[in-house]
Structure 1
């Protein structure tokens, strides 16, 4: 029987971010206005297939993933509000990618979008055997005019058809949901409808497979379902299994539900053994399992010996123990790298706190300087001139207290970060040696980039999970271009360029937002609010200044890359090309679409830009006014004209260069004759 899997979970404001959740699931970088940082989780091996479905009366901006989830986080005011609902569904492996997408699209539209929800869908296919879809849903309905509606409303409490009154004679009110999205029956229908949709596709496509949303008992199967473990419980059990393998002992479950599942598995095996037909099928599985276990034991013993043979210091072991406690179990190169990524997020948070403290320090210094020159103007920073000294000292003391706490946090972070980086280095060494043991024919592949070592670690992890040594390694057999150091450097440069420009737009918007907030607070004149908004505005200016410096540095790197890749083009001509266009030219190199001739590559960039603007125009609402359409057309024409002039200049440079080469290559006598003529 095919697999049916569906689970529904909530994303809550108290512990989670809707923007971060959407970023992780869609594999795209999104800026979180609440956290004031770009959420990005790196590039996946297989990029998710992501798209948004929305009801007809929803506003146009819901189709912009970043704006959608930022607006959700704004409208949900309470600290513990539910931000979104996520429905995770397994997709049939028998279906093609297009069929899977069609299935999940139809299911989401019929069950969620038609009921008024926005569905942000990301299909993950990182593993061939486990295609699945994450469906993030809005939990607040939209009004017919496209504004946010209410989740709940208060109505008189009814008992036996009569209104319940309070002592004062007023009706007792209760809060009720305005949709049925939270009802148990609705969830049951979602499960039932998913099973029916999958079976509908199976039937239409001629598959004999069928799934059921019902429990084993309701299906009439003598199988006891296992308890689903939490992520933490699963990590503990996986660690126990690996330790059992390493020590050559029998695996014994550690957690309560792990032990329950172990007992259930034993009972299910006994039940299956009773059934004759199932027994025959089970014997096949057991034989295959015995073979794999024997093979796995032998290879794993030798693989684990590779680790044991690498000498480690007591400090190394201490670092490994600390990181193992953080990741909750066995450490490999991937988990060690993931741990550093999490620490990088912590570091971003610390940097943000440092920036706010720097902004507060600047604000206090400006206020003090103003007090010495013109005391009445300290009102601009939220101080009462006659109480300035007392208020100033109170804020300075508060600043010092926050700085002391932050310094302590930074000290703790630095030690943990250094140990975590050391563990990554150790795991690099392990991954290389383990890979070379499993795949000696590929041991010649250099270890000159983290990307290569990470891929080697993935192949080792695949063996640990499947006990199969692959004959071929596609990522290495298909060519090493993506692992080339120049390719990696260029990829990083383009990525940083895009993210920095995106962050600059957000930073400018944030600065204007805090400026407006400051002006509003000053009109009402609340000293505390004025001071806070002054600090936030100062922080936004520092952020913007830092990003502009970062952009300037990246512009220099783009120029260096262009000069290196087009050595026959005059440097002053390359310098005249705007950085944005330079980045688009270099992106052609990244994707292997370059010709190596600058004029032709600029023509390719021009075509890409025109197609991009054409697609935007097609997607525009037909009811947009002429001014908006003309403005878009003007932008397209401006870029086209700029590229035309650049193409013309580069062609002239290339023609001149070609003439020079021909003249240089002429025979000596012919050149002399030319000179005489």
Structure 2
């Protein structure tokens, strides 16, 4: 789930920190620290996703990570100078890598870069469950030639609170845009009125240790707080159930039932509340006292005044009251378990013997009666275990490769040291007393010194590479490395076998849960089909169809006949078709009138031309002018053609067209009404339509199964009767 973490720190030279080293560590780039002359580099298994954002007035060179942070170092001349501000932000795991990058870029641009800071963003995804961003920010104003004065306003604590709030706003908008229900808040649990204690941020070091199974103080704090929070959740459920009972009492009273009045809380109910509240208060104080890590997200809770429960009216001692409370809880739990057992027995009567075996096997894994929600929950746990095992396997492979690399480098160092000894011996063996060989001796010495220099350079390079292996494997000397190597070679086969065995166990459990899931779904289908004995094909419907049909029956409070559903769906489809036909007819009517109108205009145009020729003057010219006669004949042909086109569209003339146009206007007015009726008819039809189609598919599955059984019986391979579920059982 999405978590909120937003912490800030100042990188200071007084703490022994370096802006260049910090940037190299966060980005995974090799950076040359000009102040110390050292090359800073931290190798990462997963390459960080990095970018530098700068204000529009910044010089282009400031987008070069090495030049930027070396310039920051040069701008500070005090031994305790503040070099940079760093923000550490947890990114929502519900978003994709691209969405996470877009989210952090937009937030940093608006809150920091637009205010005048340069931001160096590095997103770390070494742990897929803990994506987070490191944002290094400059502390000085940007000038055209470099850095100016420090902006002290950026140190305002209120500004930090504003950044924290804006991050939650940005993140929640992204989650909402992607359709994710989870939300985060910058407010503490106390400020939001929650009784739960917040967990603390592990950080990458503690997180890596916890992944390897090494418990850390931060992890212990979170485990204690998670245990306390689970008790708070249980208390909340208890309160909600009690409120529901009180609401039911009030409803009965308002409806004039036999209840004379709405009873107040009984003394025992008050004692239950106060007893649990007292227990949680003590538990909270115990958990908080164990929290020694101070972080920005962890606040010391206010002192909780212990509320002493009133003694019950029966004057029971505290021990007697607690014992009675315990017995009541045990009795309620026993009744609930018995009721659940009866429900499970009723469900299991619809399973085959083989499916009963599958459910029994799954019960050993779940430590409870199998159900679809429990199987889904267990699968999520298995997925996390599989991921841990996969990470463990990768870690073993990485460790083996790293040890081999270190061994190879030590071997190369030894080889170069041997070459150095050889060259030193050559130099010692030179006879400088022979003047005739002085030139040759000098050549031999220079060559030997060159070889020695090359070997020393190679040794220095190998030693530099070994720094990474020393840090990762935890050794300093070659002797310590050989101890690490020997221990790894001893432990590695057992660790590999354990990892393989656990992966096989998970594979077996996954198969068992899949079989149990199929058994539960098959049993549920048969349970629903049992309500329709006259429809044998119902046994072949899918779980999804059975679930939808069961929901319809629940909503109606009775078993709805399939025939009634089919008839209802058929009638609705016919009704919708008629309405759509009316809408379609109106649209076609409009298109027809549009075409007819164009033909009518052309018809009237050429009709007027013909009428004009028929007057006395023009008509007499036709016998004199051949061109006039041709024009007249063309006009007659065009008039007759457009008249035929017009009649083909159902229009006889201008009067008829205007009459039909009025009819179309009356039809068009009803289009919104038809669309509304279609929408109403479609409302709720989707699930019923899916049920009918699902039952039709079940009929086809039954026919296919019948043909297959007949074929098997013909070959003498029919299934045994006892392995099938009988609807008459």
TM range (shorter): 0.3 to 0.5
**Which is greater in Rg?**
2
TM-score by length of 2: 0.36
